[in-house]
Amino acid sequence: MPKYVFNPITLQYEVHEGPRWERPVRIIVAVIAAVGLSWLYFWLYTSVLGKDLPKTAALKRQAAEWEARMSVVHRELDLYETTMEGVEERDDHVYRSIFGLNEIPAEAKVAGFGGDARYEYLDAMGATFNLKNTMRRLDQLTKRAYLQSTSLDEVYGISLTAGDMVSHIPAVPPLLPDKSRIHMASPFGYRSDPIYGGTRLHEGQDMATFSGNPVYATGDGIVVKTDFKFTGYGNEIVIDHGFGYRTRYAHLSRIDVAEGMEVKRGDLIGAVGSTGKSTGPHLHYEVLYKGAPVNPMQYMNMDMSLEEYRAMVAKRREEAAPRKKSSLELLDNLGR
């Protein structure tokens, strides 16, 4: 803009032309002053007064809202995890225990969640630690729920045969309980080894008797092992009764069953002998629960009457006779 200066001689305002550099300098000074004032305003607003810029304040409000939502999610996860722990506790120590099933290992429930590599994709998205931790907890809870569902399906399947559980548990002596013919020798527990010396756990009950004394299955089950050898247990039979139970019959002189055969309580399975590591005719009888040996005397009543025991054996012989006859007829027809 032109600058007007009053001339006292002519008594008029005349246009005064200043130096050419004056105008650009004024513009530069004005810009610097505006920038300085703006900077001073922001400094006073943010540093002195402690206020946030409008955009920063909006982002902080948004972040606070998400943090509040995440806190709600974490509280819900805490509730779900507590509920899941209760279900797992009942399943491991009630449902699975009743049917002789092993507990689900704790490491199986968290397998695959040990490192952060699984959640690296969240880092690329700028996710916070809180968000990654939430995702980790959700994944772990999902896996635990799946494992628990599978476990309950397994328990349900076994419960369908729970009516037969009483007949499957080994609950009678493996020999006719005639105390005049049986001597309860080495019991379950630690003892001095009669052959090699030294103290070790004797995992069964030795029942000394005459060679050839019939040996019977103590519960319903499947023959999972028949072994003929000159060392260790000698000739032995292992029966899986289900519900976590197995029984072993060792040092036999004869084995009358084969692997895969289904047997019932009272079925003849072999005869007493002195095979393997043995110092005389006797039956080494073991009861295993969930793979660990337990005292067999807790699972049989040696005071059971001979009449009751003989009746059980006779009933099984009668029930098994039609099957044997059918098998012989089938073989005869095939031979023709």
Q: Map out the domains of the chain as residue ranges.
A: 3-48, 74-160, 171-335
CA-based torsion, 116, 118, 124, 130: positive or negative: negative
pLDDT at 219: 95
pLDDT band for 324, please (50, 70, 90 cuts): low
pTM over 0.85: no
pLDDT at 284: 96
pLDDT at 336: 45
pLDDT band for 18, please (50, 70, 90 cuts): low
CA-based torsion, 88, 94, 99, 101: positive or negative: positive
Residue 325, pLDDT > 70, answer no
pLDDT band for 331, please (50, 70, 90 cuts): very low
Residue 198, pLDDT > 70, answer no
Question: How far apart, in Å, are the Cα atoms of 61 and each of 51, 91, 125, 264?
Answer: 14, 45, 20, 73
pLDDT above 90 covers a percentage of the chain that reads 34
Pick the CATH number of 171-335 from 1.20.140.10, 2.70.70.10, 1.20.1250.20, 3.40.50.720: 2.70.70.10
Report pLDDT digits (tens) over 298-308: 899 899 999 99
pLDDT band for 91, please (50, 70, 90 cuts): confident
